[in-house]
C-alpha cells in the first residue's frame, strides 16, 4: 500500500482519511472484481501478497510480447524512434531480452548518454534479483551509482530492492531527493549511507530482515517519514537523539527493541499518531521496571492505534515474561473511547486473565478477535457476543 501512495496511484476521498486507507479500498475492489487474487494473508487478516488470475496474466503477457516485437522492429529501422521509448517504471526480472538487463548486469561500459536516454524520467525501480551471492548487490549498486552520476533517477519515488542480497548502496543515494519509498526488506544489508538524511520526502523505510542494528542519527531529520520497519531479529535500537517535532508524522513503527537506554520518555512517547506499533522489550526486570511503565502509558495514549504487538525476550533471544501491569494481570477493562481504531485483537497465553469487561460502544472498529490458551477466561464480554461483523476465533487451553 505504501508504494502505491508513494507513486500517487491513489487519492483520498475524505479530509481525515489516510492515503493507505484509500489504497486498501482500491485493492479490495480489485479483489472483489476478480482482477487480482489473494495468495497470502498477514496474521491480522490483511492482504500480504496478490497475483493476477491466469487468464489475465496470459493476456498481458501476449500484449507485452507484441510490444517487444514492435519495439525491436523499430530499433532495427531507425534510432529516431527511441525518443518515444523512455522508461517510467523499471523492473529487473533478470530477463536477458530486456533492454535494461545489459545496463544493470552487463558491466560499466554503458555510456552516460545511453543511461540518460532511458532512465532520466524513471519514477520507480524494483529489482527481483534473488541470487544469493555477491553479484546482485554489486551490480545493482554500480547501476544506481552510474545512473545518479548521469543525472538519472532524479525523479525516482520508489526504490524497492527486497530480497536483493546486500545491495551496495552508494553515498550518492541522498541525491534522490524525490524518493518516497525505500524498500530494503530481506536484503541482509548491514548499514545505510549517512546521506539518507537528505531524503526529505521519504515516507517509508523498510529495514525488516536486514542486519542493521542501529540507524544513523540522521534518521531524525526525515520529517515526512510515516512508516518505519526495523529488523526485529537484530535488536534494532534508536539512539537517544530525538528532538522536539521529530518523526511526528510516523504512523508505523515496527521491530523496535526497547531497553533501559531507549528514548521513550520525552522521546518516543511523543509519537501519538501511530496506527501500528510493534515492540520487543528487554527482560531485565529491575532495570526495566520504570521504563515499562513509560511504555505502557505511551501505548494507552495511542488513540489512532489499529495494531499492537509487544513481546519480551531474554539474553538468548528467547520469549520471556512480559510485565506491563496496565496491560496484563487477572482483569481487563476496555472502556468507551479507548483504542477506537483497533481492528484486530489477539489474546494469547494470558494465564492470569480471568475477567474481561467491554463497555457499551467500546472497540467500535474491532473486526477480528482471536483468543488462544486463556484457560481462566470463562466467556466473551456480553458487548461482543452479538456483533454482526465481528469474526471470532477461540482456541481452548491445552
pLDDT tens-place values along the chain, 398 residues long:
788 788 877 776 665 677 878 888 888 888 888 888 888 887 666 788 888 888 888 887 787 666 554 444 433 332 333 344 578 899 999 988 888 898 999 866 677 788 888 899 999 999 999 998 889 999 999 999 999 999 999 999 999 999 999 999 999 999 999 999 999 999 999 999 989 989 999 999 999 999 987 777 777 788 899 999 998 877 777 765 555 456 778 999 999 888 888 888 888 888 899 999 999 888 776 667 788 888 888 998 888 888 888 888 877 777 777 766 666 778 888 888 877 888 888 888 777 788 999 999 999 989 888 888 888 888 889 999 888 888 888 877 65
Contact (CB, 8 A) for 90 and 119:
yes
Flag whether 217 is in a domain: yes
Flag whether 137 is in a domain: yes
Contact (CB, 8 A) for 345 and 366:
yes
Give the Cβ contact number of residue 210 at 10 Å.
24
Q: Is 279 helix (H, G, I), strand (E, B) or coil?
A: strand
Cell 476465533 belongs to residue: 393
Task: Say yes or no: 182 and 217 in one domain.
Answer: no
Task: Say yes or no: 259 and 183 in one domain.
Answer: no
Task: Say yes or no: 224 and 306 in one domain.
Answer: yes
Task: Say yes or no: 92 and 187 in one domain.
Answer: yes
Flag whether 200 is in a domain: no
Q: Where are the beta strands (DSSP E) in the chain?
A: 37-41, 47-51, 89-92, 124-127, 158-160, 181-183, 204-206, 227-229, 252-258, 276-282, 307-313, 331-334, 344-348, 355-358, 368-372, 391-395
In the chain, the number of structural domains is 3
Picking from 328, 355, 374, the residue at the C-terminal end of a domain is 328
Task: Say yes or no: 347 and 250 in one domain.
Answer: no
Flag whether 307 is in a domain: yes
Task: Say yes or no: 261 and 322 in one domain.
Answer: yes
Flag whether 314 is in a domain: yes
Q: Considering Cα of 320, then 325, then 327, then 331, what sign does the dihedral take?
A: positive
Look at residues 136, 44, 59 and name the one whose alpha carbon lies nearest to residue 367. Answer: 44
Task: Say yes or no: 317 and 350 in one domain.
Answer: no
Strand order in the sheet with 368-372: 344-348, 368-372, 391-395
**pTM confidence score:** 0.82
Its domain, for residue 113, covers 86-191
Q: Please give the Cα distance from 188 to 211 (Å, whole number).
A: 5
Amino acid at each position: 500500500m505504501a508504494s502505491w501512495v508513494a507513486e500517487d496511484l491513489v487519492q483520498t476521498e475524505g479530509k481525515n482519511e489516510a492515503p493507505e486507507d484509500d489504497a486498501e479500498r482500491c485493492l479490495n475492489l480489485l479483489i472483489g472484481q476478480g482482477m487480482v487474487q489473494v495468495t497470502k494473508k498477514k496474521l491480522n487478516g490483511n492482504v500480504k501478497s496478490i497475483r493476477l488470475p491466469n487468464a489475465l496474466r496470459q493476456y498481458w503477457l501476449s500484449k507485452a510480447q507484441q510490444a517487444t516485437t514492435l519495439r525491436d522492429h523499430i530499433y532495427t529501422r531507425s534510432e529516431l524512434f527511441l525518443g518515444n521509448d523512455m522508461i517510467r517504471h523499471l523492473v529487473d526480472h533478470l530477463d536477458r531480452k530486456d533492454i535494461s538487463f545489459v545496463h544493470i548486469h552487463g558491466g560499466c561500459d554503458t555510456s552516460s548518454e545511453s543511461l540518460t536516454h532511458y532512465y532520466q524520467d524513471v519514477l520507480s525501480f524494483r529489482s527481483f534479483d534473488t541470487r544469493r551471492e555477491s553479484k546482485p548487490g554489486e551490480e545493482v549498486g554500480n547501476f544506481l551509482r552510474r545512473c545518479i552520476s548521469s543525472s538519472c533517477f532524479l525523479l525516482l519515488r520508489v526504490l524497492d530492492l527486497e530480497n536483493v542480497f546486500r545491495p551496495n548502496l552508494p553515498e550518492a543515494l541522498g541525491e534522490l531527493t524525490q524518493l518516497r519509498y525505500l524498500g530494503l526488506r530481506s536484503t541482509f544489508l548491514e548499514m545505510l549511507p549517512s546521506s539518507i538524511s537528505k531524503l526529505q520526502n521519504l515516507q517509508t523505510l523498510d529495514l525488516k530482515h536486514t542486519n542493521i542494528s542501529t540507524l544513523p542519527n540522521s534518521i531524525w531529520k526525515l520529517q515526512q517519514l510515516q512508516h518505519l520497519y526495523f529488523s526485529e531479529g537484530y535488536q534494532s535500537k534508536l539512539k537517544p537523539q530525538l528532538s522536539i517535532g521529530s518523526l511526528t508524522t510516523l504512523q508505523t513503527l515496527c521491530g523496535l527493541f526497547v531497553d533501559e537506554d531507549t528514548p521513550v520518555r520525552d522521546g518516543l512517547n511523543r509519537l501519538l499518531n501511530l496506527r501500528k506499533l510493534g515492540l520487543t522489550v528487554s527482560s531485565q526486570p529491575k532495570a526495566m521496571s520504570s521504563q515499562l511503565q513509560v511504555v505502557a502509558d505511551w501505548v494507552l495514549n495511542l488513540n489512532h492505534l489499529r495494531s499492537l504487538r509487544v513481546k519480551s525476550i531474554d539474553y538468548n533471544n528467547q520469549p520471556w515474561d512480559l510485565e506491563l501491569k496496565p496491560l496484563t494481570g487477572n482483569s481487563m477493562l476496555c472502556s468507551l473511547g479507548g483504542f477506537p481504531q483497533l481492528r484486530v485483537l489477539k489474546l494469547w497465553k494470558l494465564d492470569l486473565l480471568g475477567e474481561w469487561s467491554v463497555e457499551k460502544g467500546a472497540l467500535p472498529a474491532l473486526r477480528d478477535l482471536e483468543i488462544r490458551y486463556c484457560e481462566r477466561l470463562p466467556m466473551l464480554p456480553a458487548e461482543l457476543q452479538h456483533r454482526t461483523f465481528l469474526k471470532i476465533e477461540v482456541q481452548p487451553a491445552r
